Structure 1
């Protein structure tokens, strides 16, 4: 079962750009490029942190490695 998370960069809490919700599902997202796909090297593409809004489903992508995720208490 997927658990919701809160996220922040520095002191700034991340909220959904669409609905202003502050809970997300998190997953790794590959940032595929045409050149790397052409040479069958998609595995070497950069990845991002994907935060999917728990409320509306909007996907936010972050390549900033300073993003912190906080698991919500049950």
Structure 2
């Protein structure tokens, strides 16, 4: 299983919108466009940071590259 992380954006700590948990699993997510898929340029589409809440499984997507991930203590 991937290491648990906490996340922040500037001075704000991110919590789950659904359950208010603060531990996540991080995953890169491609934001595919129709044109990119149609012409086989999906590799050039924008990426986002996906944070999956470890408590409830809700998936949060952040396209802001300034998001910071912090390894949670075991």
Cα deviation, 1:16-37, whole Å, max 9, x if unaligned, reads 0000000000010000011110
Cα deviation, 1:11-70, whole Å, max 9, x if unaligned, reads 100000000000000010000011110001110100000000011000000011110000
**How many aligned positions are there?**
74
User: How far off its partner does 1:73 sit?
Assistant: 1.9
In the alignment, which residue of structure 1 is the partner of 2:57? Answer: 57
Cα RMSD for the two superposed structures: 0.6
User: How far off its partner does 1:72 sit?
Assistant: 1.2
Q: Which aligned segments of 4 or more residues in structure 1 are displaced greater than 4 angstroms?
A: none
Segments of 5+ residues of structure 1 without an aligned counterpart are: none
Segments of 5+ residues of structure 2 without an aligned counterpart are: none
2:57 is aligned with 1:44: no
